[in-house]
Structure 1
Amino acid sequence: MTYQDTLTFLLEQLPIYQRVGRSAMKKDLTNIRALSEHLENPHHKFTALHIAGTNGKGSSAHMLAAILQSAGYKTGLYTSPHLKDFTERIRIDGKPIPRSAVVQFVEYNQAYLASLQPSFFEMTVAMAFDYFAREQVDIAVVEVGLGGRLDSTNILTPLLSLITNIGLDHTDMLGDTLAKIAYEKAGIIKPGIPVVVGSYHPETLPVFKSKAQQEDSPLLLAFEEYRVVRQKVDANYQYFSVYHQEKLIYPEMKLALLGSYQQYNLVGVLASVNQLLTHGFTISEQHLRAGLQAVSNLTGLKGRWQVLGSNPTVVADTGHNREALEEIVRQISQHLYRNLRMVLGFVQEKDLNIIFRLLPTSAKYYFCQPDIPRAMPLSQVVEAAQQYQLDFEVVSDVNQALRAAQTQSASDDFIFVGGSTFVVAELEI
């Protein structure tokens, strides 16, 4: 098989949530357990950190991986979805899994995959765990795909669990209240395994406390231990003062991720690093600073408040639910610009009434449609935009929509591209 043949097999024969939505979801862990047993249970052969949350779990995973790499540990990293190429999902020390290893895994296990009929995500998780075990990583940082309790990654028994935050996303599958969604995320809490909670709401904290007590797991509330204060931001870094129990421990901590929302993720990351120290990991302040200063370079992270151009400023961000968009709009408002232009596309299950109520009415909008089956039809977007009396035009292709915005912009305008991970993924960058 060629690499392209392999991807075709994966995408066409195995359902993938990012493309078809809820129909790709499996209701239990039966398939992933069977597939792991077929592979001789690779998830028992490496140490792991397990990360769940509505927003921030990907950024937190990349930050932790970068810190561990800077400390000299051979570090696996599993995240989803990918932006440009499937291999981005599975990395060791920032380097994507070789395409040849993807082909080899599918060729060797194709008959079993065909008989078991796992989901795309189940197969991808198994591939990642098999690769990490074969390559003998010191530690793997593993991001939950969706939810937690029934997510394929939840066969892990990690060294530490981290839950970043809870928001109303994927409510058709995870529940329609914060407490119900927290219950699904709390499913990654394992017996006796410490869990760091990065942030919480009055509705979610009792859920985490109950689950941790049930599992006899130490519950660590990061915001009660750490406080970060953003001091300034420039073209390359955010600068934070970091306090532990109200004592300044890291003045001017530089973070190479520019999204203002990263301050919430940083607290959970710092608390997780502190827990790793209690488990015998050697991570110095120098390692911590080196990792945070070079997250994207070390781990390949893209699409988080990523600055794509200047004169006019062009920024892309994959944030796509209410909480993420609130932070994005807040950060845009902190910039000086003449005109704001927003290139947006969505997937089908998004509630445009919620989204359009968040967005500035003074902006010019360019609505596009990502090239996936789950894309929201532009006719539906247009209908909603008209109700909110937005100034917009329709340019179905993502890159043509961006070019239209750039053509119409002055040098001091601001262009934002997002609404969906799949819009950012199609950018020619």
Structure 2
Amino acid sequence: MIPKLDEYKKRVKITSDDEIKPGLAAIEKAMELLGSPQQNLKAIHVAGTNGKGSTICFMESILREAGISTGVFASPAMIDIHDQIRINGENITEEELTASFQTLKDSGIDGMLTDFELLTAAAFVTFDRLKPDVVLIECGMGGRFDSTNVITPTVSVIPSIAKDHVGFLGDSIEEIAWHKTGIFKKGVPAVCGQIPYEAKKVTEKVAKEVDSPLLIYGQDFQMIEGNPEQFRGSLQITLPPRKMKGPHQAINAAVAIEALIMAELKLPIEAIQSGIACAKLSYRFEEVAPGVFFDGAHNPAAAAMLRRTVQEQFPGEKIDFVIGMMANKEIKETLNELIPVAHSFTFIDFDVPGAATAQFVYDQCDFGKKQVTDRENVSIILSKDLDGKKIVSGSLYLLNSLRSHIL
């Protein structure tokens, strides 16, 4: 589901293929018909389970601080289709996106691509036309067979590998790692974050097979905790405090820095420092009102990062969580990661296809103080001037639906 995509399809009279087919054949054929716009881009390709958006945010911020123009293709949408394609930090305009979809229509690819493939093609066409200096491309899901994997980047990046989308990517870390590392290209450097041992074995094997120079966090580069933080990798840099809090964001920042160095971009140290300091992204431990935080943690690994961030930022405090989740997620395991820092759980329904009912999520929660409530009561809970912090989490769709009630 891509919000507002149907409006553009109707506007230019283009259709998509409702059947998702494995592989890249359709998008590769479409790129040929479009004149291979993706080949004209200086791109950095980002796959991984968690941290993709944050790592891209850090890179985008650094590049812009250095005066380098940027394009970003991100997913899923935060609000609607326009925030999935950014130029120099700004969402694509309706006029520019209409022009890109018209190019798709005129190329003869009508009915050839799925919705996400269609949006991917629109992003490549947009970047080729507007020509930003560097383009940051986020995989939609997986990597090996993701429609973005028709580019040859200057660097491949994987911030993390953990279990998610198991119905599509496999039940084991090894299978998921095989999908993610499918973005590695011959001779192209690959930069990875902190990954589990099972994933590391697969990652090293794939990198060797395609002759991709591999750098892994904790082995080839790292962030030294302290005040100030110290990046130690291909360069050594002292960093100011980050707006994006949490120990996992220190790793994402380090991955971003090392990836940009591997892209052989001439970046002033000051641009790296200020870019890391001022980078911020919605729904990453974002304080949307005093004492109310939104965080997009939606799987066990992300929930563990959220828990560690709470323990770092609010030592000894307990949190009132408001949770809504998609049915295809590891709900029980995700909630278990949050229990050590929980004061209470409130579960809510949200109207999105594939969402788990609040009652189902409630039944998965092994915690005494919990309740199911409706949107009106959640708004009251979040607006009350009560002691203690409150965090809304579990699904970006839930966060989007509740944001207007807070701001």
- TM-score with structure 1 setting the length: 0.85
Task: Please state if 1:265 is matched with 2:252.
Answer: yes
**Equivalent-residue separation in structure 2 for 1:4 and 1:155 (angstroms):** 22
Partner of 1:421: 396
**Equivalent-residue separation in structure 2 for 1:62 and 1:251 (angstroms):** 19
In structure 2, the gaps of 5 or more residues are: none
Partner of 1:345: 324
Partner of 1:68: 63
Partner of 2:229: 240
**Equivalent-residue separation in structure 2 for 1:407 and 1:26 (angstroms):** 45
Shift of the 407–208 alpha-carbon distance from structure 1 to 2, 3 Å rule, reads closer
| Contact 2:156–2:191 under 8 Å retained in 1 | yes
**Equivalent-residue separation in structure 2 for 1:65 and 1:360 (angstroms):** 34
| Contact 1:31–1:116 under 8 Å retained in 2 | no
**Equivalent-residue separation in structure 1 for 2:96 and 2:119 (angstroms):** 12
Aligned with residue 301 of structure 2, among 293, 309, 323: 323
Aligned with residue 24 of structure 2, among 20, 24, 29: 29
Task: Please state if 1:6 is matched with 2:1.
Answer: no
Shift of the 338–403 alpha-carbon distance from structure 1 to 2, 3 Å rule, reads farther
**Equivalent-residue separation in structure 1 for 2:51 and 2:8 (angstroms):** 28
Aligned with residue 293 of structure 1, among 269, 277, 285: 277
Aligned with residue 349 of structure 2, among 358, 369, 376: 369
**Equivalent-residue separation in structure 1 for 2:289 and 2:205 (angstroms):** 47
How far the C-alpha of 1:285 sits from its partner, in A, is 0.6
Shift of the 401–54 alpha-carbon distance from structure 1 to 2, 3 Å rule, reads farther
Partner of 1:209: 204
Aligned with residue 47 of structure 1, among 42, 46, 51: 42
SS, match of residue 365 in structure 1? strand
In structure 1, the gaps of 5 or more residues are: 16-22, 233-238
Shift of the 140–308 alpha-carbon distance from structure 1 to 2, 3 Å rule, reads same
Partner of 2:371: 393
SS, match of residue 359 in structure 1? helix
Shift of the 294–226 alpha-carbon distance from structure 1 to 2, 3 Å rule, reads same
How far the C-alpha of 1:378 sits from its partner, in A, is 2.4
Shift of the 113–121 alpha-carbon distance from structure 1 to 2, 3 Å rule, reads farther
**Equivalent-residue separation in structure 2 for 1:97 and 1:106 (angstroms):** 13
Residues 275-329 of structure 1, C-alpha deviation per residue, up to 9 Å, x if partnerless? 123xxx2101111012112223xxxx3111111121xx11111121101101112
**Residue identity matched to 1:285:** I
**Equivalent-residue separation in structure 1 for 2:155 and 2:214 (angstroms):** 11
**Equivalent-residue separation in structure 2 for 1:354 and 1:368 (angstroms):** 18
How far the C-alpha of 1:176 sits from its partner, in A, is 0.9
Greater shift, 28-37 or 170-179, is seen at: 28-37
**Residue identity matched to 1:378:** A
**Equivalent-residue separation in structure 2 for 1:216 and 1:240 (angstroms):** 33
> Percent identity over the alignment?
26
Q: How many pairs are equivalent? A: 397
Equivalence map 1:159-238=2 (5 Å): 159-231=154-226
**Equivalent-residue separation in structure 2 for 1:167 and 1:113 (angstroms):** 39
| Contact 2:238–2:273 under 8 Å retained in 1 | no
| Contact 1:337–1:413 under 8 Å retained in 2 | no
| Contact 1:259–1:304 under 8 Å retained in 2 | no
Residues 154-192 of structure 1, C-alpha deviation per residue, up to 9 Å, x if partnerless? 000011111111101111111111111100011000111
